[in-house]
Amino acid sequence: MVDVRVVDATPQAQGFSSVYLVGGSRGYAIIDAGPSNGSSKVLDYVRSAGLRVCCIILTHIHIDHGGASGVLSKELGVPVYVHPRGSRHLVDPSVLWEQSRQALGLVAEYYGKPTPVEESMVKVPGDGDTIDLGGATLKIIYTPGHASHHMSVFLVEDGVMFTGDSGGVVVEGEVKAPTTPYPFKPKPYLESIERMLRENVKKAALAHYGITGEGAQYLKWHSEEVRTWLDEIAKLVSMGINDPLKIAEELASRNRNAKIAVNSRISHLYYNSVMGMTRAVLEGEWP
């Protein structure tokens, strides 16, 4: 029997950082490690539930998803699977940390400094590779766009797509926004959604936050919402508005979900996403 669980790895809060546990007869895979400052939540859950973990799979290495991978790998004695473009940053996360601090400021400190993974424990799966947990098959799908090293994970038996940040954010059921920080690549991002939709997706397990029903319908809606935001931003740029902060304010006045996001606790994510989309438009990535 397949077992899917979500652990809340949000530091000092709830409902933002999802870490998933997927189990079969051979043990459990952790999908995304979460931030360093949330690692104790994950370890406490695994130990209290008496789960046998056999590996960690990262959708990508950004510090709110891969930051705790070093701690979890060491404490649980398991390998970490990561896209080939992200592997060196697991072994030596110093550049990743500095870039995160520059991009996120105090939010980076909130997530915590990423811990390195022993090089021998880093594994690189190919696009389309599968991991057999014993009755639970995880298919790796490369999904660039949010980041060049992004991959999603599909649970074949139950039709659950673990999107990472390639499926946007749904927080508290009401806040819905793309996750498109610089250097966001819109066309690969939208193509990645199409790649996910080629599978028999019944549910979407989002990195932020939790599992949504009607997975294929959600991903189709998200794709259209991303296009809507990009088109609105392109119109604003054509009007001579190039400042991402002004664009974020204008977009929030025109789009319901943008308005909700800018006034929510994930406003920092909203501004970073609009920045990424704006830069993409200015650099000729859209339309």
Q: What confidence tier does 1 reach under pLDDT thresholds 50, 70, 90?
A: confident
**Residue 271 and residue 182 in contact, taking contact as beta carbons nearer than 8 Å:** no
> d(Cα 62, Cα 66) in Å, to the nearest integer?
6
Bridge partner residues of 20 (DSSP): 6, 31
Collapsed DSSP state (helix, strand, coil) of residue 9: coil
Element (H, E) at 43: helix 39-49
β-pairing, 160-171 vs 203-208, is parallel
Q: What is the pLDDT of residues 9-23, one digit of tens each?
A: 999 999 999 999 999
Q: What is the pLDDT of residues 63-112, one digit of tens each?
A: 999 999 999 999 999 999 999 999 999 999 999 999 999 989 999 999 99
Tokens at 176, concatenated: 């819905």
Which domains are present in the chain? 3-142 (3.60.15.10)
pLDDT value at position 183?
Answer: 95
